[in-house]
């Protein structure tokens, strides 16, 4: 594997007195966002990393996950294979990698991102898999199980355009200046230090974040960091944040970010929009709510996807199990129609679809 020795940033999510009922126990699972390869690649990696990092501190939710960071000397080339990336992070707790390459384009940079999700890095909380939605039907002879999960774990994403005016503010994460206080507008005083290689986000306030950071001697300090022009949605970033929230069992926050990702994705990002809706549906189901709206939107965007058909079938089975007995026949008919209408999407004799048919038969008895 070809690996360049340049700076890479890894984001590790930490707990701050979180209730075990709300979040998984895994304290180390994180995201890697290296410098991108190409024109202003380090700036691009820094901007995307900071947008993720800031979004993982929600000032309105007490006890929301904060973030710490550390450094390694590896970076992935923009054309590096998914398999090589997965192998390279196999020995650590990284569950999400966002990397890519860039080229100069007009007054900015065109970034071509790639995304790799490694859900098997997630530890279960009480046996629950946060990225799996499972239904179970028991008969006298056997127990039938069907499940759906992340539709894709490897993404070749549409290019994103980043302006030079934005990138010029962020050449490097650990060189970002820290100020003594928050100002009403751009900083008016001299910085008291730089973020360095170890810091945590305490709270966000407009364009500022209050941080705890270490100086060169390892002593901790508090201060404020100014993030000009860092606002605005990028569907890729919103999706990444939503997935991280989902992996951490923070389902409501995952729904919020995945909904934002789906809403801001344009026609060139249709696969990302659909997957955002499916993952939003999964998180909604985890909260014992009805995800039918998200699944209908995903189906309208592309009615020929096997992943959407699977989600719809699992949803209908769960609805039969949860619904009143008087509506059971109508719900069974809806499931039968869905299986019949989407069977052509599956290979002949597909074991997943055959299990769905067996479940339908068992629930009719």
pLDDT value for 69: 44
Contact indicator for 313, 146 with CB cutoff of 8 Å: yes
CB 157 within 8 A of CB 201: no
- Between 17 and 153, whose confidence is greater? 153
**Phi then psi dihedrals of residue 13, to 5 deg:** -90, 130
Which residues, other chains included, contact 43 with Cβ-Cβ below 8 Å and sequence gap of 6+?
109, 167, 168, 170, 171
Q: Which residues contact 334 (CB under 8 A, 6 or more apart)?
A: 316
Task: Tell me the two tokens of residue 22.
Answer: 């709300």
In 3D space, the residue among 104, 106, 115 whose CA is nearest the CA of residue 76 turns out to be 115
**Whole-model pTM?**
0.85
Question: Secondary structure of the chain: what % helix, strand, coil (to 5)?
Answer: 40, 25, 35
Q: What is the pLDDT of residues 182-192, one digit of tens each?
A: 999 999 989 99
Chain centroid to CA 65 = 14
| 112 has pLDDT over 90 | yes
Reported as a single tens digit per residue, the pLDDT across 133-166 is: 999 998 888 899 999 999 999 999 888 999 999 9
pLDDT the model gives residue 177: 93
Higher pLDDT, 64 or 201: 201
- In tens, the pLDDT along 315-352 reads 999 999 987 777 788 889 999 999 999 999 999 999 99
**139 CB-side CA count, 13 A:** 13
Instruction: Enumerate the H helices of 77-205 as residue ranges.
Output: 82-88, 164-167
154 CB-side CA count, 13 A = 7
More confident residue, 325 or 210: 210
Pick from 317, 314, 278: which is nearest to 299 by CA? Answer: 278
């Amino acid at each position: 594997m070809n690996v360049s020795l340049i700076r890479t940033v890894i984001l590790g999510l930490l707990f701050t007195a979180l209730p075990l009922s709300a979040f998984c126990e895994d304290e180390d699972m994180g995201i890697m966002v290296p410098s991108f390869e190409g024109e202003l690649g380090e700036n691009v990696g820094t901007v995307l990393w900071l947008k993720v990092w800031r979004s993982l501190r929600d000032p309105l939710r007490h006890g929301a996950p904060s973030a710490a960071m550390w450094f390694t000397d590896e970076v992935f080339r923009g054309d590096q294979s998914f398999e090589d990336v997965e192998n390279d992070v196999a020995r650590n707790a990284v569950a999400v990698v966002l990397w890519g390459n860039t080229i100069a384009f007009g007054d900015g940079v065109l970034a071509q991102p790639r995304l790799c999700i490694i859900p098997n890095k997630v530890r279960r909380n009480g046996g629950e898999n946060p990225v799996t939605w499972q239904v179970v039907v028991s008969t006298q002879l056997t127990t039938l199980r069907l499940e759906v999960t992340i539709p894709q774990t490897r993404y070749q994403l549409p290019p994103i355009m980043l302006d030079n005016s934005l990138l010029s503010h962020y050449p490097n994460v650990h060189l970002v200046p820290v100020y003594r206080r928050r100002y009403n507008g751009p900083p008016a005083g001299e910085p008291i230090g730089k973020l360095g290689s170890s810091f945590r986000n305490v709270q966000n306030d407009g364009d500022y974040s209050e941080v705890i950071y270490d100086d060169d001697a390892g002593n901790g300090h508090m201060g404020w960091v100014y993030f000009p022009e860092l606002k605005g949605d990028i569907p890729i970033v919103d999706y990444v944040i939503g997935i991280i929230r989902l992996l951490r069992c923070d389902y409501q926050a995952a729904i919020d970010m995945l909904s934002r990702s789906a809403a801001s994705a344009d026609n060139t990002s249709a696969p990302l929009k659909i997957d955002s809706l499916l993952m939003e549906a999964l998180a909604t189901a985890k909260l014992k709510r009805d995800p039918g709206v998200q699944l209908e939107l995903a189906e309208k965007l592309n009615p020929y996807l096997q992943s959407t058909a699977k989600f719809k079938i699992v949803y209908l089975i769960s609805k039969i199990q949860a619904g009143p007995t008087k509506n059971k026949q109508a719900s069974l008919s809806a499931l039968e129609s869905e299986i019949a209408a989407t069977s052509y999407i599956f290979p002949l004799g597909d074991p997943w679809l055959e299990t769905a048919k067996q479940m339908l038969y068992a629930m009719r008895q």
